[in-house]
């Protein structure tokens, strides 16, 4: 009997993710599947939910709503700050920075720049986007004690330690 995907299993998958218009946003390379420890928050919640209980060899399509993916967009995470906060640094739309906020460190993306102000967006780039995943489960096994303590899968598709 093959292993089923459940908490703390080492799982390897191939995937393609598309937006609602069918545009491919990301995919695993054929020679480089994604390996992860299940149930540790390494996947978006909606994908984790549909993978639970699956076994090696299974293929599935899953439509994941924005709320179960990277969340809905929040206008409150868009902020305009003085340009001089960036000093002499060249700042352009699309650049990402780490910012200190009332809620700790957060990644922000520059969306607009003028001579006096910079507008940044703290939303994940895929916030508000419904996603479609095509997934093939390649392998499911017990994670080793070392993998569990390190928090990631070792070997192909995972982390290669020297």
Tens-digit pLDDT profile for residues 114-148: 999 999 999 999 999 999 999 999 999 999 999 99
Write out pLDDT tens, residues 85-113.
Answer: 888 899 999 999 888 777 778 889 999 99
Q: What is the CATH number of domain 75-121?
A: 2.40.10.330
Mean pLDDT rounded to a whole number for the chain: 91
Q: Which CATH number fits domain 4-70+127-150: 3.90.650.10, 1.10.390.10, 1.10.730.10, 3.10.50.40?
A: 3.10.50.40
Residue 17 has pLDDT above 80, yes or no: yes
Quote the CA–CA distance of 69 and 65 in Å, as a whole number. Answer: 6
What is the pTM assigned to this prediction? 0.81
Distance (Å) of CA 145 to CA 101, 116, 153, 154, 157? 36, 53, 10, 11, 18
């Amino acid at each position: 009997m093959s292993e089923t995907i459940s908490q703390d299993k080492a799982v390897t998958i191939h995937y393609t993710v598309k937006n609602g218009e069918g545009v491919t946003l990301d995919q695993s390379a054929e020679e480089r599947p994604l390996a992860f420890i299940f149930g540790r928050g390494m996947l978006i919640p909606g994908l984790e939910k549909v993978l639970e209980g699956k076994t090696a060899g299974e293929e599935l399509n899953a439509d994941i709503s924005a709320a179960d993916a990277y969340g809905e967009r929040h206008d409150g995470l868009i902020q305009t700050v003085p340009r001089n906060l960036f000093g002499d640094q060249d700042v352009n739309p699309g650049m990402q920075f780490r910012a200190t906020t009332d809620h700790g460190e957060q990644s922000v993306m520059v969306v607009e720049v003028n001579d006096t102000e910079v507008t940044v967006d703290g939303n994940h780039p895929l916030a508000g986007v419904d996603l479609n995943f095509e997934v093939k489960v390649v392998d499911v096994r017990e994670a080793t004690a070392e993998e569990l303590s390190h928090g990631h899968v070792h070997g192909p598709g995972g982390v290669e330690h020297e």
